[in-house]
Amino acid sequence: MEETTKLAPNNTADALALNVPIVSDTDQSILNLGPTHPATHGIFQNILTMEGEKIMDSEQTVGYIHRAFEKIAERRPFYQITTLTDRMNYCSSPINNFGWHMTVEKLLQITVPKRAEYIRVIMMELARIADHLVCNSILGVDTGAYSAFLYVFQEREKIYEIYEEMCGARLTTNMGRIGGMERDLSPTAFKKIKDLIYNTLPKVMKEFETLFDRNRIFRDRTVNVGPITGKRAMEYGFTGPNLRAAGIDYDMRVIEPYSSYEDFDFEVPVGHNGDTFDRYMVRNAEIWESMKIIRQAMENLPEGPYYANEDHYYLPPKKDVYNNMEALIYHFKIVMGEIDAPVGEVYHAVEGGNGELGFYLISDGGRAPFRLHFRRPSFIYYQAFGEMIKGLTISDAVPILSSLNVIAGELDA
């Protein structure tokens, strides 16, 4: 009679593949948190080694939503790449779009009119507000508080109505152009923004903070939960709110200003402990600062054109395309990618909702990028998640993950 030998797996991944338990001296088990689980907020997996309720080890897995954007971009004209970028962090699409446009403008050495830069700032700060509202309100849901989520999502809806007025889209926007904006800020959009920033959002934010800031249950679930030091956060490559919550004052809008951010007066909120509560507080404070920036941009909006006079790269207005042969020719050449870009290598980064969103572009003089790499903040700080939850419980892991604001589209582009 043959004797069957069952080999012990070397790690949790092997155990899952072989469908056998981990051989251990202690009573341990494996738990899949994701890839399809409400708490993961996207399609990614955490393979947890548990000892009772305690997390002993964690292995992060990405690749479930991989869409090969960087490789697709090598076969697309520069304009057609815009629709790839807004599908990364879809909670703040305009920032992605404008970041890409600024990268191409740097390569092409296009100077964008001041009015277009101010309108971009308004839209990017609205996107930042929407992004932070999603993160903090969902953090409330993950800690058992649902009402505040309903309050702030009404304000997020108003931001989406502004997007809709600007470009006809809500989630995956395309309101910008290489060289400026697709259209000027309309009176309707101006009125909607003014009503949001001056009237409704400040009131809702005060209610939101009243519900959470001193709430005993919320503080018990977030204070000193999942802390990370500034030094360790920098070693991982953290940027954005998660780095600032750990006490590091680093913001791309200040370090390397773009789109006229140097014209605006605003503070960069910085935390102390780098825990879940600090990440929540930093994002809330940034919402107030974004409102301050938008007010300044609205009150000091420059006169002039909203796009650069660059016939070879800026899409002509539709009325000209329908009535002017030269405009029709430029429209066709730009959309179909018939215009070669200069040879060059550029990197441009913007302060995305989750941190430094960078675009590394290499052009060999063709009609599409020779190479394009996206620096996605979520991909970088998700690597620290296993370390941050080690020794804690599942009930701690969920709000920690939520406070990091890992967006699957940005994590795994």
Instruction: Kindly list the domain boundaries of the chain, sorted by start residue.
Output: 12-61, 69-411
Q: How far is CA 39 from CA 139, 152, 397, in A?
A: 10, 20, 9
**Per-residue pLDDT at 118 exceeds 70:** yes
Angle (CA) 32 35 38, round 5°:
95
Q: Residue 336: what pLDDT?
A: 86
Phi-psi sector, 252: left (phi>0), alpha (psi -120 to 50), beta: alpha
**Per-residue pLDDT at 347 exceeds 60:** yes
Give the mean model confidence (pLDDT) for residues 278-301. Answer: 98
**Per-residue pLDDT at 14 exceeds 60:** no
Q: Which sign does the torsion angle of CA 219, 231, 63, 393 carry?
A: negative
pTM for the whole structure = 0.91
Give the mean model confidence (pLDDT) for residues 288-304. Answer: 97
Alpha carbons 263 and 288: distance in angstroms, whole number: 18
269 preceded by cis ω (within 30°)? no
- Residue 153 pLDDT class (50, 70, 90 cuts): very high
Alpha carbons 87 and 100: distance in angstroms, whole number: 12
Q: Residue 42: what pLDDT?
A: 82
Q: Residue 6: what pLDDT?
A: 38
**Per-residue pLDDT at 3 exceeds 60:** no
Q: Residue 367 burial (CB < 10 Å; 0-12/13-18/19+)?
A: middle
Look up the CATH number of domain 69-411: 1.10.645.10
Q: Residue 26: what pLDDT?
A: 63
- Residue 221 pLDDT class (50, 70, 90 cuts): very high
Q: Higher pLDDT residue, 19 or 86?
A: 86
